[in-house]
Structure 1
C-alpha cells in the first residue's frame, strides 16, 4: 500500500513516470482524464490513428489544449506537455518513455505494439484483453526475459478478479470459483450491431448521440467480452474454464456461495477452481435486485470448522452450510483506475495480473449459418461470437480464436452454433499485423505448457 507514496517521491525528484498511451478511445480517455490528477505521472505521448479524433477525445475530458501541443517527446518532457502522433512505433521506442499503455482494442495491433515495447525495454500495461488472450503467455515470457513488466490493466475486471484471487490465496484459502457479473440472456448470442440497441432499450439515434460504438456494445452483450475476460483470468490464475463454455447462471450476491459450489453439494459446478460469469437477469428477463452486473467476485472454501466459525462470527457471506464463502466488489472503474497498473509496473516492477499459463482460449462460434466465401467480421460483429473453452480443447480442434476471426474468408460452410476451425478458412494472405499475430499464435501452440508457466 505504498504506490501513492512512491509516486510522490518521483514527483519530488522531478522525474515522473513517463507514459505512452496507444489509442485514445474510451478506456484510454478515462486514464487520460485521471493522469494529470495523479502526482508522479506524466503522459509523455499519445498515439492514435486519427489525431483529430484524439483531440476530440481530449476535449471531452477537459484536457487543456496547450497540454497537447508538444512537437516531440523531448519537448514534452521539458515542458510537461504531451506529444500527439500517429506514429505509435516511434512513440513506443522513444528512450524517454518508461511505460506503454496499449489501449487500441485491436488484437493484432496490440501484439505488435507490445512486442515492440518489450524489445525497447518498456513496461507494458495491456488494456487490450483481446491481444492478451491471443498470446499473453508468450508476451509475458518475452517481457520477463527482457527484464520488463507485462501487466493486465487494473480497473478492468480481469485484473480485479486476479487481485481478489491472489488476496484469498495469500490468506491460505482455496478458490472455488471466480469471475464477474454481466447482463445476459441466451438470445444475446445472436445479437448483431444492427439489433444491439433493441436489447439495450435504446434507439439508434440515442446511441449515436452518446457516441456509442455498436460493435463494442455488441461484444459486451453477445457473450464475447465475457469469454475473453474469463480466458484472461484463467490464464493469469490457473483457474479452469468450463469444458463447453460459460453457463452465465442468474445470481445475485446473496446466492453466490450456494450456487457456485460443487454439484454434489447442491451447486452447479462440475469441479472446484473455475471461472464463471453470473447474469444480472433471470432467464425470463427480470432484473435480480442484488445483481453483480458491474462487479467481480470470488467464492472460496473454509475447510475447517474453526474457519467456518470465524466466517459466522464476522458476518461473512456463506452458503447454507457455512463452508463456502463469497467476497465481491460491486463496481469497477475501468480506465479511471489504470494508474495503479502504471505505477505498479514502474515503481514496484510488479504486474497487476499477468498470464502465467495457457489455460483457456476464446474461440469463434457461428451466430448463423455461414457460407463459403464470406469474410468473418470478428468480435462484436454479425457472424461470430466468442466462447471461453479450455486451451487444450482449442488446440485439439484447431479452433479459430475470436481475435483472429476478422477479415478472413471461409473455405466451406459452417453451421449455426458450430465452432469455426482453421480448416474452415481459406489460406491467409501473408504480411501485416494479423500475420504477425498468427505467427505468435503458432509459436504459443508449440510451447510446452510447463515452459509457459516458468515466468
Structure 2
C-alpha cells in the first residue's frame, strides 16, 4: 500500500484534532508525532489535570503560549481566534471548538462515552483509544457514527486496531484465518544458563529445560511450562477487553472463556494455535486468543504485537516461504503472519487521516456484539459494596475477567459497566455479576449499552 498516494490530499488541508487525556503514554506519544505533521493541528486538549497537561507540553518542547487555559465558551473562542490550543478541564467545552476529529484517551468509560456521543452527534469523527468503552458500547457508537455521516474507529498504534487491520488484510487476500491474537503485555525471559525467569522486575530460579522444546504432546508441554511459572501472573485484564473489541469487529468468538494464554515462543505459534486434531489447542477455528511471549534474553521480543494463523493451501509455496524464514508449522498446514509491535500514538495519525480524509475507519466498518467481557466474583459480595476498579490494568478488585460469546452472557453485566458500581444485591462467589445487581442510575454507559445493535 502506497500511503502517500492514499492520503494525497493531506497537504491541501489542515485537520483539526482534539485529544482528550493527553497526559498518558498514548496521549504523549500522539503529541510527539503531531509535531512532525504540519497538516495535523491540535485544536484542543482536554484533561482535568490542567497543570499536569501544561507540564507535559513543556516537557515536549511546546512554547509556553502554545496552549491557553479556557474556563468557558468565550475563553475557547478567543483562544482559537488567536491560533492557540484550547486547554479545557470540562469536556463539554469541546462543543465550542471547530473540530474534524476527537481522539478519546481518558480510560474512563462513563466519561468517554459522553465525549464520543457529543462529537458524533455534531458530525465530528471519533478515534476511541479508551478500549474499556469500546468493549461495552463500540457497536452502538459505530452505528451512531454511520447515522451522522462520520467515522468511529479504533486507533492504529493500539493492539485492537492493528489486529483488525491484519485480519482484514488476510481476508482480502483470501487467507482462511484460523485464529487472530496478540501477545500479552510483558515477556517471560528465560536464561537457560542461569536457570532463571525474568518478568518485569521479578527474577525467579526455575528450570524450563524439560519443557523448553515442545515434543509431540504440545498440550503437555504448555501445561508443564504453566506449572513451572505458576508464581507469575499468566493473564491480564486488558487482554480480555482488547479481544472483546477485536471479536466485535471481526465476527470471531473467544477461543475459551478464560482465553488460553499458552507460554509460547514465536516460532511455535503455528503449531500451538491450530485445531486439536492437528496437534494444537483449539477446539474450533475463527477465534481470538492471547499468548504469553516466552523467550531467551537474546531473542527479540514480540513487543506487544499481533498475529494471525492461516491455513496453508499449497505445500510447495509454504515450503518456499519457510525457507525464507517465515513461521510455518511442523506439519506444513498452518502459518503464522505477525506484526511484532504496536507503537501507541506514534501510529495513530494513520487512523486520523483515514477517518477525516477518506471517512473510513482503520478498525471495522461495522461492529456487532459477538463477545462480552464479564466479571466473575472471586469472593462473596454483599449488597451495598462497590465493585471498585483500580490499578494500572483497570481491574475490579475481587473479580476475574472472562470473555464469552454474547449469546452465552445472558443477564451478566459487561465488565466495565459493572466497574465502580454499587451493588443492590448479593453476588455469590463464582457467579457472573448480573446487571440487575448493579445500581445503574445515572450511568451514561448503561444508557449507551442498551442501544447496542443485536446480532
Q: Give the TM-score range, shorter chain.
A: 0.7 to 0.9
Give the match for residue 377 of structure 2: 366
Distance 1:300 1:349, change over 3 A: same
Gapped runs of 5+ residues in structure 2?
188-197, 203-232
1:214 is aligned to none
Deviation sequence 1:22-67 (CA, Å, 0-9, x none)? 1123122221121121131001001112211221222333322221
Following superposition of structure 1 onto structure 2, how do residues 315-394 of structure 1 map, counting pairs within 5 Å? Answer: 315-354=325-364, 355-378=366-389, 379-394=394-409
Q: Which has the higher helix share?
A: 1
Taking only aligned residues, the RMSD between alpha carbons, in angstroms, comes to 2.7
**Equivalent position of 2:419 in the other structure:** 406
For the pair 1:49 / 2:48, whether they are aligned, the reply is yes
Name which of structure 1's ranges 67-76 and 127-136 shifts more when overlaid on structure 2.
67-76
Q: Deviations over 1:275-317 (max 9, x none)?
A: 10001249xxx98956535211111112344543553464431
1:233 aligned residue (227, 237, 246) = 246
**Cα displacement string for residues 378-405 of structure 1 (whole angstroms, at most 9, x for unaligned residues):** 33242224222111111x2x11212112
Q: Among residues 437, 442, 445, which one is paired with 2:445 in the alignment?
A: 437
CA positional deviation for 1:223: 1.8
Q: Distance in 1 between matches of 2:314 and 2:397?
A: 50
Structure 1: 5+ residue stretches without partners: 186-197, 203-219, 450-455
Residue 43 of structure 2 contacts residue 86 of structure 2 at CA under 8 Å; is this kept in 1?
yes
SS in 2 for 1:69: strand
- Pick from 137, 161, 166 the counterpart of residue 135 of structure 1: 137
Q: Quickly say closer, same or farther: Cα 1:222–1:255, change in 2 above 3 A.
A: closer
- Separation in 1, partners of 2:56, 2:402: 32
Structure 1 residues 272 and 291, CA, compared in 2 at 3 Å: closer, same or farther? farther
Name the CA shift for 1:105/1:95 in 2 (closer, same or farther; >3 Å). same
- Once residues 302 and 441 of structure 1 are traced to their aligned partners in structure 2, the CA distance between those partners, rounded to angstroms, is 40
Aligned residues of 2:372 and 2:405 also touching (Cα < 8 A): yes
Hey, what does 1:201 align to over in structure 2?
A: 201
The reply on whether 1:300 has 2:300 as its aligned counterpart is no
Size of the aligned set, in residue pairs, is 405
Contact 2:261 2:290 in 1 (8 A): yes
Shift in Å at residue 6 of structure 1? Answer: 7.0
Cα-to-partner distance string for 1:176-220 (whole Å, 9 max, x where unaligned): 1111101579xxxxxxxxxxxx97438xxxxxxxxxxxxxxxxx9
Q: TM-score, normalised by structure 2?
A: 0.82
- Summarize the Cα distance change of 1:47–1:225 in structure 2 as closer, same or farther, 3 Å threshold: same
Match of 1:279 in 2: 292
User: Which digits, 9 at most, give the CA deviation of each residue in 1:368-425, with x for residues without a partner?
Assistant: 443332110133242224222111111x2x11212112332234443444321224x2
Answer with 1 or 2: which has the greater Rg: 2
In structure 2, relative to structure 1, the CA distance for the partners of 1:381 and 1:172 (3 Å cut) is same
On the 8 A contact 1:366/1:416 being kept in 2, the answer is yes
